Amino acid sequence: MTDNEKSKCHAIIHSASVAAGAAGAGLAQIPGSDNAVITPIQVGMILGLSRIFGKSLTEGAALSFLAETVATMLGRTVARTITQLLIGWIPGIGNTVNATTAAGFTEAMGWVVANQFDEERKKQEA
């Protein structure tokens, strides 16, 4: 990955992470409600990352890619869900925890996806 590509990836991933964190914070007291907002943010992030690496994805393909990536990161998803159920409903604390986990998960997932796109491109060029 070139420095220019890393810079573009960082902008896309960080923006999506901030948006996901805001959604997580705002919807913390309603378990699972943030998924309806965070999923489109993550799909948009994947579509943006795909363009950096010269891939052409539809929204459906990006959603499928998101599902595959989440499946590989299942441990984090489970931990987030358990945390959300235990303290997510507590005003203030739940908002902070939910925002942090949503942003952190989106950031980590973004870099997993970016690195995977980079590896796929390298294989095609070889």
Domain count, the chain: 1
Pick from 113, 115, 89: nearest CA to 34: 89
What is the span of the domain harbouring residue 29? Answer: 3-125
DSSP 8-state symbol, 64: H
pLDDT for position 53: 93
pTM: 0.76
Does 84 score more than 90 pLDDT? no
More confident residue, 22 or 82: 22
More confident residue, 60 or 75: 60
The string of pLDDT tens digits covering residues 28-68 is 556 655 667 888 899 899 999 999 998 888 777 777 777 77
Q: Which residues contact 26 (CB under 8 A, 6 or more apart)?
A: 34, 95
Pick from 75, 83, 112, 110: nearest CA to 99: 83
The string of pLDDT tens digits covering residues 14-37 is 999 999 998 888 765 566 556 678
| Mean pLDDT value across the chain | 80
Provide the pLDDT confidence category of residue 111 given band limits of 50, 70 and 90.
Answer: very high
pLDDT for position 34: 66
